[in-house]
Amino acid sequence: MRTSLILFVLIVALLAIARKPRPVEDREGGYLETVQSSTSSNTTLSVATFNVQTGKSLDGVRDASKASAVMQSADIVGVQEVYAAGWLNRVGWGDKQSTQFAAAGKFSILYSPTRYRWFRENRGNLILTKLPINTWKTSMLHDSSGKSFRNLTVAQIKWGGQNIAFINTHLHTGSGRVRQLEEVLQEFSIHERAILVGDFNSKPDTQEIINVLNSKTSRFTVVDAIASAGLALDDENRIDWILTKGFKVTGGETQSKGISDHPYYQVELKLFP
């Protein structure tokens, strides 16, 4: 009886440890080759952001192929809320979510997990790209929750003869969100030409966003590319963003909520000289 009790306590303790989320460490890496060349012209770059809600649609069905089809025409996409490879994926059973989301567009994949859970990487964010990445780094953001960890990933690409920082992030919904936003905007500010995308969980009346859009400290003006392209759906409540520096917005397209609980936004960009 005593042995059974001890075994039960050990199992409960192990499950409690396995279930508790832990933050992933900062990471960085070098060149990432693409599986196909960009489909963009020499003068136009297609950039998108999509919180895919782990592939779950508003009707409760999880089908990554639908989100994959929507994203396929973009050159580079920041994707949020993606599951990491599961244990079955690791032994060759099925495709991990990042591979499923990349399929239709034949993208290369840069996955950035945000937390460990159940003794493995659990979930995170994803950059899908048809452009080579020269270097990249992922940095964990300040956390006040102790469980819902967030990060930002900076991928350095070269396009049109210019060095460009592509930054993808997903910020917290509650305590600590403002500080995370400040950290992300600080990273954005240090690059001359940059594209910052993601789910900020911050509406257009957020003071930090207002400040950066009104900033005159950079060579280039910061542009709310979604609004500039005329894509803002229910704009006063919008929390998904594409901010740019060093680009002119020439158009774009959007997909309303349904495939995910977030809209999909894609913009067309040209370089300012």
**Residue 163: is its pLDDT beyond 70?**
yes
Query: Which pLDDT does position 233 carry in this prediction?
Result: 75
DSSP 32: B
Q: What fold does the segment set 23-271 form as a domain?
A: Deoxyribonuclease I; Chain A (3.60.10)
Measured in residues, the chain has a length of 273
pTM attached to this predicted model: 0.92
The secondary structure of the chain in percent helix, strand, coil, rounded to multiples of 5, reads 25, 35, 40
55 φ, ψ to 5°?
A: 80, 10
Other C-beta atoms closer than 10 Å to the C-beta of 27 total: 14
**pLDDT confidence of residue 36:** 76
Average pLDDT of the chain to the nearest whole number: 90
Can you tell me the distance from the alpha carbon of 78 to that of 50, in angstroms, rounded to the nearest whole number?
6
Tell the residue number behind the tokens 């591979």, with chain if given: 99
Q: For residue 119, is pLDDT > 80?
A: no
Specify the 3-state DSSP secondary structure of 113: strand
For residue 105 the two structure tokens come to 């567009």
pLDDT for 122 equals: 87
How do the domains of the chain map onto residue ranges?
23-271
